[in-house]
Chain A
Amino acid sequence: MTAQLSSSEPRIMDPKPTHGGAPSHSPPDTRYVPGNSLARFLGYFSIGLGMAEVLAPRAVARLSGVRQAGLLQAYGVREIVSGIGILSSSRPTNWLWARVLGDMLDLAAVGANFAEAERDQRGRLMATAAALVSVTALDIVCATQLTAADALTDD
């Protein structure tokens, strides 16, 4: 026996979400930003690293194997600006992508020094590159999460 649908009963395929008929469409109280905690950590990290590069460029040069102290100071300023940008912005997505770009510049500097480096310097450069790759990965993860959150919560 086939069940007969009552003509007054809506078919299950019909119902659509109705936004127009509701008296209001209240926004959420807070925005969901899944990368927020990581972004804050990277912001503080950026400022800390930047200050070390600006205030003690020769020490950083010795430690990292990147010999150009002047370049390190300039990169330090960039790090500080990025860090402040991240921590002071409610939507720091673009600042995180700026960090990723900065990581590329840092890796380029390491690569440029590698070609003419002496043996002991090469070891330090490789360690610096390894650390940079790790931080770059974190930056990319965070920037991607923030970008996805922006896409999800933008009207």
Chain B
Amino acid sequence: MKAICWHGTSDVRVDTVPDPKIADPGDAIVRITSTAICGSDLHLYDGLMPTMQEGDVLGHEPMGVVEEVGKGVTKLKKGDRIVIPFTISCGSCWFCQRQMYSLCDTSNPNAEMARKVMGQSPAALFGYSHMLGGFAGGQAEYLRVPYADVGPIKIESGLSDEQVLFLSDIFPTGYMAAEQAEIEPGDTVAVWGCGPVGQFAIRSAWMFKAGRVIAIDRIPERLQMARDGKAETIDNSKQDVYDALMEMTKGRGPDRCIDAVGAEAHGTSTLTAVYDKVKSATMMESERPHVLREAILCCRKGGTLSIPGVYVGVSDKFPMGPLMNKALTVKTGQTHVQKYHHLLLKRIEAGEIDPSFVVTHRRPLSEGPELYKTFRDKKDHCIKVVLKPGMA
């Protein structure tokens, strides 16, 4: 089958790889009909994630049709149309029983690797390094889905792929970000990053009855999409974010702050932004936590910082003093997709939201490598790329 494979920093290629086979009775084989490129795929593309290996199949936002199930699978059958969560969870361990699916104790066969870096291993993820499982990803024609009875959600309505595909990751991610921000009715919510996760965080913030949503970015089409979602916007290439937020909130700061940017923040020309660039270029810092620093300083005292943005290693110059002295609450984590995807599907089916608004590019799988570059460089007004293995 054809698959998009990692070959090094800024080097992904469409390779011919063996078709996946059932390896465990709990597996299913899925023919992929649509799959997306995620902002966190760019951390792999940019070489930030350790334990990637040449030939690894990428992709963690897939959906498709079940082609084969293992003997232990009871909830899926050939022909079922499913969306596959990016987190692989067993459904039975202590964490899964408490709906903390992204912290599954069981699913990562390389848990020892992750334990050495993180203290304990989180759940395995599709297509996201060997430290997080070594499972092939979904930017391919076929995918082996472990724990097939636990993860996938069946789509039995006539909704299009693009209306439900983002239940795999970015819609639950934006929703969980808003939930973890502890939004109370009337709150002012600031969202850093108007990429796809930020866009869903904005729309989810309204679901939690926010009073104001302020979105921060520098890309015009992303700011416009945020305004389409009824957010006020700050262009951080033209305004100082702290000054703008203080003015907009009469000096108090936003009640809830959401970092939907993560490890590869683009700072301004401030000293710390330059510091981050130099240190990450010389591999002395694994990420650029510019947004985290800014959000901590901007958030009102006693407020909440919700971090859906992916970080991979260690960050420098972290403002622990302001965080502690302002009594901020921080909530973060990879998304517990299986906790949210049923309730979000109901909202889609009820017409409350059509997630396909975020798609700007639809291309065949074969054009994936080119689209990685377009997406990373934010060219051609690119916000979200959906790849279609079946498209010519």
Chain A residues in the interface with B (C-beta under 8 A): 10, 15-19, 21-34, 36-37, 152-153
| B113 neighbours in A (Cβ, 8 Å) | 32, 152
A28-B109 in contact (CB<8A): yes
A43 to chain B, nearest CB (A): 15
Interface pair B135/A28, CB less than 8 Å apart: yes
Q: How far is the CB of B145 from chain A (nearest CB, A)?
A: 9
Task: For the complex, count residues of B whose C-beta is within 8 A of A.
Answer: 39
Whether A26 contacts B94 by the Cβ 8 Å rule is no
Stretch at the interface among B47-55, B194-202, B223-231, B374-382: B47-55
| Chain B residues, Cβ within 8 Å of A19 | 106
Q: How far is the CB of A23 from chain B (nearest CB, A)?
A: 5
Q: B interface, by DSSP: helix, strand, loop or mixed?
A: loop
Complexed CA–CA distance, A19 and B147 (Å): 13
Report Cα–Cα, A26/B298, bound state, in Å. 44
Instruction: Tell me whether B27 and A24 are in contact (CB under 8 A).
Output: yes
Say yes or no: B130 contacts A32, CB within 8 Å. Answer: yes
Are B24 and A27 within 8 A (Cβ)?
A: yes
How far apart are the CA atoms of A18 and B97 in the complex, in Å? Answer: 11
User: A24 touching B146 by the CB < 8 A rule?
Assistant: yes
Asked if A153 contacts B90 (CB within 8 A), the reply is no
Q: 22 A-B residue contacts at CB 8 Å?
A: A15-B94, A15-B105, A18-B92, A18-B93, A18-B105, A21-B93, A22-B93, A23-B26, A23-B147, A24-B72, A24-B90, A26-B107, A26-B147, A27-B24, A28-B133, A28-B134, A29-B135, A30-B56, A30-B136, A32-B113, A34-B53, A152-B112
Least CB distance, A17 to chain B, in whole angstroms: 4
Q: Of A16, A24, A32, A36, which is within 8 A of B134 by CB?
A: A32
User: Which residues of B (75-97) have their CB < 8 Å from a CB of A?
Assistant: 88, 90-95
CB neighbours (8 Å) of B53 from chain A are 30, 32-34, 36
- Tell me whether chain A's interface is mostly helix, strand or loop, or mixed: loop
Given A15-B94, A36-B54, A37-B54, also A24-B26 (CB < 8 A): yes
Known interface pairs A10-B94, A27-B24, A30-B56; 9 further A-B residue pairs with C-beta atoms within 8 A, sorted by A's residue number:
A22-B92, A22-B106, A23-B72, A24-B72, A27-B109, A28-B109, A28-B134, A32-B113, A36-B53
Q: Which of B39-82 contact A (CB under 8 A)?
A: 51, 53-57, 70, 72
Which chain A residue shows the least CB distance to B106?
Answer: A22
Question: In the complex, what residues of B have CB within 8 A of residue A153's CB?
Answer: 110
Task: Count contacts between A and B, CB distance < 8 Å.
Answer: 95
In the complex, the answer to whether A32 meets B91 with C-beta atoms within 8 Å is no
Instruction: Please measure, in the bound complex, the distance between the C-alpha atom of A57 and the C-alpha atom of B23, giving whole angstroms.
Output: 50
User: How many whole Å from A142's CB to the nearest CB in chain B?
Assistant: 15
Q: B149 at the A/B interface (Cβ < 8 Å)?
A: yes
Residues of A within 8 A of B27 (CB): 24, 26
Q: CB-nearest residue of chain A relative to B70?
A: A24
* Most chain B CB inside 10 Å of its own CB: which residue of A16, A17, A21, A28: A28
* Complex contacts, B134 vs chain A, CB 8 Å: 28-32
Closest Cβ of chain A to B121, distance in Å, is 9
- Residues in B107-156 with C-beta less than 8 Å from chain A: 107, 109-113, 130, 133-136, 144, 146-147, 149-150
Task: Report chain A residues within 8 Å CB of B72.
Answer: 23-24
**With A17-B106, A37-B54: A22-B147 Cβ-Cβ less than 8 Å:** yes
Report the separation of the CA atoms of residues A106 and B105 in the bound assembly, to the nearest whole angstrom.
49
B82 to chain A, nearest CB (A): 17
Q: Decide if A25 touches B112 in the complex (CB within 8 Å).
A: no
A residues in contact with B94, CB < 8 Å: 10, 15-16, 18
Does B25 touch A at the CB level, under 8 Å?
Answer: yes
